[in-house]
Amino acid sequence: MTISAGIGLANYSFDDAKGFWRWVALCDAEGVDSLWQSDRLIGKDPSLECMSLMGALAGGTKRIKFGMNVASMALRDPIVTARACATIDVLSEGRLLPMFGVGTARSRDFSATGRPTKGRGQRAGEGIQIMSRLWAGETLSFDGRFYQLDEASIAPLPVQSPLPLWVGGAAPAAIERTARWGTGWQAGIETPDEIDPVIRGIKARAAELGRQIDEDHFGAGFGFRFGSPDEPIVQRQREALSKRVTQGTPEDYTAVGSADDIMALLERFHAAGAHKFILRPIASGTDDIIKQTRRLIDEVLPRVKAKNRK
């Protein structure tokens, strides 16, 4: 049972592609556990399409693992997505960490792609089941509400067997999907108090189904910045966050200050059952993102790794 920390991105805040790849090379060389890209199709804020980035990282890195946090399965065809993930896992020699959820009904991505929000949970659930079974090598016939398959199979299969299948979401249906098909669960924008009952619920339901999810396959994430809460970039980030959450305080979702402040919030999530962390730098521009990442590598990651030696 281990604790680990990766780095996640929502917006594309680099000056250019060269700056992005400088940052990726730093993470790949310096022991960052994993890289994660949020999923958003429509919006004015620059962001990278998550599945395209997974393919790029497969060829542009040597060691680090990577995943999407989280890709909306209600927007994606499960056959195409299963094939894409298998291909990326093969070409990266087993470094993909697929993570899927439903997606919020407030997202304009649904209307933009012609997908109704009604039934999106069941649609995502069918898609996750189909992908899991195809990755396991089944020749699959499936008669669902949204998808019908007749002796479908894919090849080559993923290098990882089983291919990890992380699931996001905190609703009862998400707990059921995770317990039934997932190999891990990752929190979204939730507080430590909010993730505790979800993790407990997944473990209990998995046991009822005769399954077990590893203790260190439950995760959480939060924004961080080495700096001051008074900085404009922090104020803007917290203002945007306040529009998306209804519980807790900014300190429940972001750690701003020193390495001690970051570790303090990480410890709170760890006490609630999280072992895998996706830390999102609150930064803008290549130099700022690299500076924040460098300090995380130097001042926080050694303390995270030290917890595994206790």
Report pLDDT digits (tens) over 74-107: 999 999 999 999 999 999 999 999 999 998 878 8
DSSP string across 51-70: HHHHHHHHHH-SS-EEEETT
Q: Which residue has the tokens 């680990």?
A: 4
Residue 247 parent element (H or E): none
DSSP-assigned beta bridge partners for residue 221: 278
Residues contacting residue 287 through CB under 8 Å, at least 6 positions apart: none
> 0.85 exceeded by the pTM?
yes
Query: Which stretches within 73-170 are classed as H helix?
Result: 78-91, 109-112, 120-135
Q: What is the pLDDT of residue 244?
A: 81
Rounded Cα–Cα distance for residues 69 and 101 (Å) = 9
- Please give the chain's pLDDT, 310 residues, in tens: 799 999 999 999 999 999 999 999 999 999 899 999 999 999 899 999 999 999 999 999 999 999 999 999 999 999 999 999 999 999 999 999 999 999 887 889 998 998 889 999 999 999 999 999 999 999 999 999 999 999 999 999 999 999 999 999 999 999 999 999 999 999 998 999 999 999 999 999 999 999 999 999 999 999 999 999 999 999 999 988 888 887 888 889 999 999 999 999 999 999 999 999 999 999 999 999 999 999 999 999 999 999 887 6
Please enumerate, as own/partner, the contacts of 199-203 that have beta carbons within 8 Å and a separation of 24 or more: 199/272, 199/273, 199/274, 200/273, 201/172, 201/175, 202/175, 202/178
Helix, strand, coil share of the chain (percent; to 5):
45, 20, 35
CATH fold label, 4-307: TIM Barrel (3.20.20)
Q: What is the pLDDT of residue 309?
A: 76
Rounded Cα–Cα distance for residues 128 and 75 (Å) = 12
Q: What is the pLDDT of residue 247?
A: 81
3-state class (DSSP) for residue 217: helix
Q: What is the pLDDT of residue 298?
A: 98
For the chain, the straight-line distance linking the first and the last C-alpha, in angstroms and rounded, comes to: 11
Domain ranges of the chain: 4-307
Q: What is the pLDDT of residue 103?
A: 83
